[in-house]
Amino acid sequence: MNLNENVDIKLLNAINHGRLSHTYMFEGDAVETLRRKSEFFALNILGDTERNGSLLREGNHPDFYYLRTDETSIKKDAVEDLVRVMHKKPTESEYKVYVIESFEKLTPQAENSLLKFLEEPPEKTVAILLTIDKSSILPTIHSRAQHVFIRGEREDRLKDLEFLTESELTTVDRLSLNAGHVKHLDENFSKLRERAMEFSSKWVMDHPLVLIQIKGLLDICNERRDYLLLLQLIDGYVRQSLHQTIGLNDFKPYIEVAENPVKGETALSKMLEEVAEANRLIQFNVNPMLALEGMVISSKG
């Protein structure tokens, strides 16, 4: 049973046992997959009947509201329209359900407007917030939501990444990288991946000049999520090395890398711990250069 099948079971159990939360945040790496899961969840909340299914597909269910936009932001007016609809009593079902796609697009004004609604929602109202970048969402909204991670289906995650090579696509897929972020980086993703491999190779091989590589890595990054993506790439390389060391060949995000590391299992495990610590520090706004330098130095014990 895969991760998303387990998610389905947990969501259905919440419905069947009367344990629905007011707010869910579906987070993942492909908005198309999140959309399908939200519609699956909404249908089962409203009642999985032929009529409800037909009304949902047609976009005509009176107890269901789906908010999305092709614009770069979701404004306060759109949220206020949603709130007005949600204050009406359900007519076809026991519940009212609304979905906001790409929640990270909400302007600060829209987010604050929705926060007031989330604090005192009408009874029998369920919110499903979809995001592929939760880092910019207000902590107060995070605290009111039940978080559900949904891994993007492979075809959803990779369909807009035709500009990548097969080996690069393998890295994106095996490391479950955020496809939307990779697409945004465009050709810079290839550069970042290549430099991450060069750095990781030197780090794993105990190269004396590994610290010098860090500046070249960071020069490609422009925002915090770029640094976090970089650490995912480094983590993947070190983890692949660890798998090779213990005789496994089941994890290979870098298919062009064949050499066996000189470090042993204990040292590589320590390196993974330091990558996780660097990730934590960057999320707390520590200077990325200091976080990566500390990662390398601390791994040497």
Residues 176 and 113 in one domain: no
CATH of the domain at 98: 3.40.50.300
Domain boundary among the residues 93, 122, 157 is at 157
Q: Check residue 241 and give its pLDDT.
A: 93
Residue with tokens 């994890």: 251
Residues 47 and 99 in one domain: yes
Residues 178 and 288 in one domain: yes
Q: Check residue 263 and give its pLDDT.
A: 81
Q: Check residue 261 and give its pLDDT.
A: 63
Residues 203 and 91 in one domain: no
CATH of the domain at 295: 1.20.272
Residue length of the chain: 301
Q: Name the CA radius of gyration of the chain, rounded.
A: 22
- Please determine, for residue 297, whether its predicted confidence score (pLDDT) is greater than 90: yes
Residues 193 and 292 in one domain: yes
pLDDT tens digits, one per residue of 46-66: 999 999 999 999 999 999 999
Q: What is the pTM of this model?
A: 0.71
- Please determine, for residue 260, whether its predicted confidence score (pLDDT) is greater than 70: no
- Percent of residues in the chain assigned helix, strand, coil, to nearest 5: 60, 10, 30
Residues 6+ apart with CB under 8 A from 287: none
- What average pLDDT does the structure give for the chain? 92
What is the span of the domain harbouring residue 7?
Answer: 3-157
Q: Average pLDDT for residues 112-129, to the nearest whole number?
A: 94
Q: What is the largest CA-CA distance in the chain?
A: 69
In three-state secondary structure terms, 259 is: coil
Residues 118 and 219 in one domain: no
- pLDDT classification of 134: cutoffs 50, 70, 90: confident
In three-state secondary structure terms, 33 is: helix
Task: Specify the number of domains making up the chain.
Answer: 2
Domain boundary among the residues 98, 127, 157 is at 157
Picking from 180, 203, 169, the residue whose alpha carbon sits closest to that of residue 275 is 203
Picking from 74, 8, 16, 60, the residue whose alpha carbon sits closest to that of residue 38 is 8
Angle between helices 265-283 and 187-204 (to 10 degrees): 140
Task: Name the pairing type of β-strands 23-28 and 146-150.
Answer: parallel
Q: The tokens of 264 are what?
A: 């042993």
Residues 139 and 39 in one domain: yes
- The CA-to-CA distance between both ends of the chain, in Å, stands at 39
Residues 108 and 128 in one domain: yes
Residues 83 and 142 in one domain: yes
Residues 151 and 165 in one domain: no
Residues 6+ apart with CB under 8 A from 9: none
- pLDDT classification of 258: cutoffs 50, 70, 90: confident
Residues 118 and 171 in one domain: no
Are 241 and 261 contacting, i.e. CB atoms less than 8 angstroms apart? yes
- Please determine, for residue 175, whether its predicted confidence score (pLDDT) is greater than 60: yes
Domain boundary among the residues 127, 157, 187 is at 157
Q: Check residue 36 and give its pLDDT.
A: 94
Residues 189 and 238 in one domain: yes
